[in-house]
Amino acid sequence: MKYTIILILLLLVLVIIPWKSHPEKFQDEQAPPQDTLVTAIHDLFTNEFSDLDETKRLDQTIQRFMNQWEIKGASLAIMKDGKLIYSKGYGYADEENGIKTDVKHIFRIASVSKLITAAGIMKLVENGKLSLDDKVFGEDGILNDTTLYYPIKDKRTKNITVENLLRHQGGFSARYGDPMFKPVDIAKKMDVPAPADLNTIIKFVLSRRLGFTPGTSTNYSNVGYGILTKVIEQVAGEEYERFIQDSILIPAGCYDMHLARNLYEERYLNEVRYYEQADADLIQSCDGRDTLLPRSNGGNNIEALYGAGGWVASPTELLCFLASIDGDDTYPDILSESSVETMVSCPGFSLPIGWMKANNRGDWLRSGTLAGTSAMLKRQHDGFSWAFITNTSNWTGPHFPQKIERMIYQAMNRVKEWPDRNLFDPAYCKNYHDQKKLLANEESPKFGPPTPENLKL
């Protein structure tokens, strides 16, 4: 009997101690992740909400543009003074399966992702975890793990600061092409299996000489924002995606933004199918196999882009994110006014932080292109902000967002009167379904980011 009791106690110790140390390992593997308990803003309404007489001419302009450039599907969201007034999908999210684009569909947003990464860095600065002047490499740098990133070829690399990377002044050149899109070549040069991951890409870049002394010139750099991904992970002590979601996106009210995956079969629930221009070349599979694939479906290693271009989002949630970093309290901000001003400043003719362009009038712009997508996010000085994303790329490549900007300008000018409403307000959406009009109810949630409490399924 005594030995039986001892055996039982021993078994209890072996079970209870590991559970207390790592309870997540003992959870039901089929249990949904926590963020499925809340509904994304774009799931609260559909295209029907923006089928308005006032915006028919805008819709016509967009449809003509899509026909002209053979765009399969696109989505547009418009905000005025922090209030979402319009959101609608066009064409097909997945033509082969007959799925039309609706506001719920999410797209790869390419380099618009850099704005999300920049916001993550600024949040760490605000929390006292980081300084823009901190060195990134070297013995006293943030990324000083000799097993991952060393040896360094160019001693000037040790002078690269966080702000240098944010403003594309890290010294990286395009002498060898864009390393973020050479997963097979770099894997061969570094003698690792393809595709080369982000750590390998960074190590490869550091094994070459810089194109210029950090801080003395500007050269747009995807790898610089890839490095910032690792800076966030090192300083925050957790994975990049989790930190950004927990510290930036969810506080901003964005629940359906994720890091993209390479293949159509691995897409997210609301994600579109991607299309390239009819004459687009196939390339070698990013995993090194002798298979030719579309760049948008296994050719490019999208999963290695991370903070440089790896996010998927809907235009609606992109505007939700923008409203939280614009310095306007109509929609509560997640960054301080000082951080916002730093991001849109351009000292010494440098690029702004995260943004592609920013001027003294208050116009801020961020574009992005990848095979299979073009994205544009713009905040205008007149109080309007908008996001437009396609699931089809164009032969003009990074110049295509400029055409999008001109088209949206023309389309919005065709609207004489915009609806006075706020689709960010869950009460508006609920009452629309109930009576198709906004009820005057003092207990309705205030305008601002939705919360897990008022968006539970």
pLDDT along the chain (457 residues), means of 10: 43 37 32 45 89 96 97 98 96 98 97 98 98 95 86 94 98 88 95 95 94 96 98 98 97 96 96 95 95 96 97 97 92 94 94 96 97 97 97 92 96 96 84 49 40 38
**Nearest residue to 55 (alpha-carbon basis) of 80, 35, 21:** 80
Q: What is the pLDDT of residue 43?
A: 82
Query: Residue for token digits 């190590």?
Result: 203
Q: What is the pLDDT of residue 99?
A: 98
DSSP class per residue in 302-318: GGGTGGGT-EEE-HHHH
Q: How many residues does the chain have?
A: 457
Q: What is the pLDDT of residue 141?
A: 95
CA distance 340 to 17: 46
Instruction: Give the distance, in angstroms, between the CA of residue 213 and the centroid of all CA atoms in the same chain.
Output: 29
Domains and CATH numbers, the chain: 43-415 (3.40.710.10)
Q: Which amino acid is at 64?
A: R
Using an 8 Å Cβ cutoff, are 152 and 137 in contact?
yes
CA distance 304 to 262: 9
Q: At what angle do helices 113-126 and 315-323 cross, to 10 degrees?
A: 30
CA distance 308 to 230: 11
DSSP class per residue in 102-117: -TT-BEE-GGGHHHHH
The phi and psi torsions of 172 (rounded to 5 degrees) equal: -80, 135
